[in-house]
Structure 1
Amino acid sequence: MPSTVFHQISVLPGVWASPGLLDRLRPLSRRQPLVLDAWPHDDSDTGRSFARTDAVLAGWKDTLDADRLGRLPDLRYIGLRATSTGRVDLDYAGRHGITVAPIEGYGDAGTVEFVTEQLLRHARHGGEARGELAGRRLGIVGYGRVGRAVGRVAQALGMDVAFHTPTARTAAAGEPRWSPLPELLASADLLTFHSPAYRHAVRPDQLRLIPDGTFVVITTLGLPMDAAALRSWQSARGGRVVLDLCAADGLPGDLRDLPGLEIHDLYAARTADSVRRAEAQVLANLAAALTPHPAGCQCCLSGAETALTTSRQKGI
């Protein structure tokens, strides 16, 4: 960035900015940061002010497609308070020299703790008799940072752990083993999904491989299966499925009353600690974008390369 401050930083609704974050944004912007509760109309006073923004902060629910980005001719920076870039048009950003900066790992601990809590609760209270997780088989669909962390905790609790990714992997001694998806689904006593955001990781015919009593935890951004497939599958079984609000985002209303479907009124990744971590990373990314770098420096990538690289690393 040629300047030591941005002209205008605009904060989209999905950031859920704390007062502390807003206070720390003010020295980084010539104008008062513009905090939006909705995408403004172009012909409103807010819309005209927004059109001059050169830096946008967005959350995982905020859509930044080519149409919206095209309304911001001065935009040079998109800071994501999210790990997923799935709702940003990275091709447009790359063509127009817009840096896209996601954050990493801020909600991993909270998600792992939520999944572990649900597994333990099911073992202790999910049947006629109190049981244990030790000796039960856990299947993990998606094996990024969170999936691996869940696997480590499960192994420490004595579980038999297998995972699936589209590409087969060779596990080191003592680590969870890779399994083909049909085998994983058919053999698990408990399942947890950590596949990429807004991607259907299982087909309807594969869902039917899951045993009737298998307990399922889903914390992905958006469902990892088609909503209609979830309706058909869950209507015909007796097992329980637990979703947090990330997984339930956009869920049709009639699915919320499905027998055995339990939606927790929280985001697994969102805790007081994760909010602090997320906002610290957002601010660090903003500061890095304003720091001059020598020609040819490889410490940061321009345009959408950073987001594209990050997205690929986070895939299953």
Structure 2
Amino acid sequence: MTRPAFHQITVSPGVWPSPHLLDRLRPLTYRPLLVLDDWPAPGSDAFESVARTDALLAGWKDRLDADRLGRMPALRYLGLRATSTDRVDLRHTARHGITVTPIHGYGDVGNVEFVVGELLRHARHGGAARTELAGKRLGLVGYGNVGAAVARVATALGMTVAFHTPSPRHGPPDGPQWATLPDLLRNADYVSFHSPAYRHVARLADLRLIASGALVVITTLGLPAPCEDFRSWQRSRTGPVVLDLCAADGLPGDLAALPGVRVHDLYAARTAESVRRAEHQMLANLEANLNPPRRDM
């Protein structure tokens, strides 16, 4: 039988755990596993239980600032069901010796398939005539694992691909090429954003370089432009903007209702396979940090 390694494991609201994950976690905690539907209010029984947490599993929607982390004085391990640590106060975790482990790559396939699916859907059904992607120009803002995978598929479909990153990068002569942001946006028939979480990488002047009828796909965490810039830009154009629920996180209702804005009621990266990969990585990270709980807890 597995010896419990933590005094109190808490699963935050943003993890959406499967029964399999919960079954794997239960033998690792002395106290009953605490699964939160919401963050508890001060003074509640659940609040007192959370205060005993020494291992916390959290999702990308959970804001873990110093105040919230400070309510868990015994915390020594934070496992994220997310690639980004933007919502974690890393100065606090470093100061208090809390290990933070994100996961990587678990949703890349779903994200790539979503973006390519939207490109194909627009080519076939987005205008008066059915068109092909071959020969069209795709601009990628951001070129991490997902952006690079989208580029490979788009290139295989015959598209010309350009990408933008803050620093110039050399691509193969017959492959995707780096471009300045203005050149990329100005010349693209399709644009897909793959920039860092909650980072405004484009402003109104940049957005206005995109062709009025071009399809724009956004699957970043949060909009890649300020809301007021996005609002002014989309009001002045005819083309569609497609967002998944990650991109629409915190999106004001009037922006979601703008003509041409389509918010899909799904997370592009979330598939049955990606859930299994994410939970496998979370468990592997947790098990790599197993230590018996302190006697004074």
Give the TM-score taking structure 1 as reference length.
Answer: 0.90
Aligned equivalents of 1:219 and 1:89: distance in 2? 24
User: For residue 21 of structure 2, what is the aligned residue in structure 1?
Assistant: 21
1:60 matched to 2:60: yes
- Using the TM superposition, give the Cα deviation of residue 4 of structure 1 relative to its aligned residue in structure 2, in angstroms: 5.9
Question: Does the residue aligned with 2:73 lie in a helix, a strand or coil?
Answer: coil
Aligned equivalents of 1:194 and 1:157: distance in 2? 20
Aligned equivalents of 2:209 and 2:116: distance in 1? 24
User: For residue 295 of structure 2, what is the aligned residue in structure 1?
Assistant: none
- Using the TM superposition, give the Cα deviation of residue 45 of structure 1 relative to its aligned residue in structure 2, in angstroms: 1.0
Q: Is the CA contact (8 Å cut-off) linking 2:5 and 2:291 kept in structure 1? A: no
User: For residue 295 of structure 1, what is the aligned residue in structure 2?
Assistant: none
Aligned equivalents of 2:56 and 2:173: distance in 1? 45
Q: Is the CA contact (8 Å cut-off) linking 2:51 and 2:72 kept in structure 1? A: yes
Q: Is the CA contact (8 Å cut-off) linking 2:182 and 2:206 kept in structure 1? A: yes
Return the letter of the residue paired with 1:9.
I
Q: 1:66-215 to 2 correspondence within 5 Å?
A: 66-215=66-215
User: For residue 253 of structure 2, what is the aligned residue in structure 1?
Assistant: 253
1:284-314 per-position Cα deviation (integer Å, ceiling 9, x unaligned): 000001169xxxxxxxxxxxxxxxxxxxxxx
1:89-140 per-position Cα deviation (integer Å, ceiling 9, x unaligned): 0111011100000001000000000000000000011111110000000000
Aligned equivalents of 1:224 and 1:267: distance in 2? 17
- Using the TM superposition, give the Cα deviation of residue 38 of structure 1 relative to its aligned residue in structure 2, in angstroms: 1.2
- Using the TM superposition, give the Cα deviation of residue 31 of structure 1 relative to its aligned residue in structure 2, in angstroms: 1.2
Return the letter of the residue paired with 1:30.
Y
1:194-251 per-position Cα deviation (integer Å, ceiling 9, x unaligned): 0000001101111111111111000000000111111110001001100001000100
Question: Does the residue aligned with 1:94 lie in a helix, a strand or coil?
Answer: helix
1:232 matched to 2:250: no
User: For residue 302 of structure 1, what is the aligned residue in structure 2?
Assistant: none
User: For residue 271 of structure 1, what is the aligned residue in structure 2?
Assistant: 271
Question: Does the residue aligned with 2:209 lie in a helix, a strand or coil?
Answer: coil
Shift of the 271–262 alpha-carbon distance from structure 1 to 2, 3 Å rule, reads same
Return the letter of the residue paired with 2:161.
V
Question: Does the residue aligned with 2:288 lie in a helix, a strand or coil?
Answer: helix
Aligned equivalents of 2:95 and 2:277: distance in 1? 31
- Using the TM superposition, give the Cα deviation of residue 170 of structure 1 relative to its aligned residue in structure 2, in angstroms: 1.1
Aligned equivalents of 2:257 and 2:90: distance in 1? 37
Q: Between Structure 1 and Structure 2, how many residues are aligned? A: 290
Output the aligned Cα RMSD.
1.1
Question: Does the residue aligned with 1:289 lie in a helix, a strand or coil?
Answer: coil
Question: Does the residue aligned with 2:267 lie in a helix, a strand or coil?
Answer: coil
1:226-284 per-position Cα deviation (integer Å, ceiling 9, x unaligned): 11111110001001100001000100011111011111110000001100110010000
Which segments of 5 or more consecutive residues in structure 1 lack a partner in the other structure? Answer: 293-316
User: For residue 304 of structure 1, what is the aligned residue in structure 2?
Assistant: none
Aligned equivalents of 2:192 and 2:210: distance in 1? 12
Which stretches of structure 1, 4 residues or more, deviate above 2 A after TM superposition?
A: 172-175
Q: Is the CA contact (8 Å cut-off) linking 2:215 and 2:241 kept in structure 1? A: yes
Return the letter of the residue paired with 1:230.
F
Aligned equivalents of 2:174 and 2:92: distance in 1? 44
- Using the TM superposition, give the Cα deviation of residue 175 of structure 1 relative to its aligned residue in structure 2, in angstroms: 2.3
Aligned equivalents of 2:259 and 2:49: distance in 1? 48
1:216 matched to 2:231: no
Return the letter of the residue paired with 2:249.
D
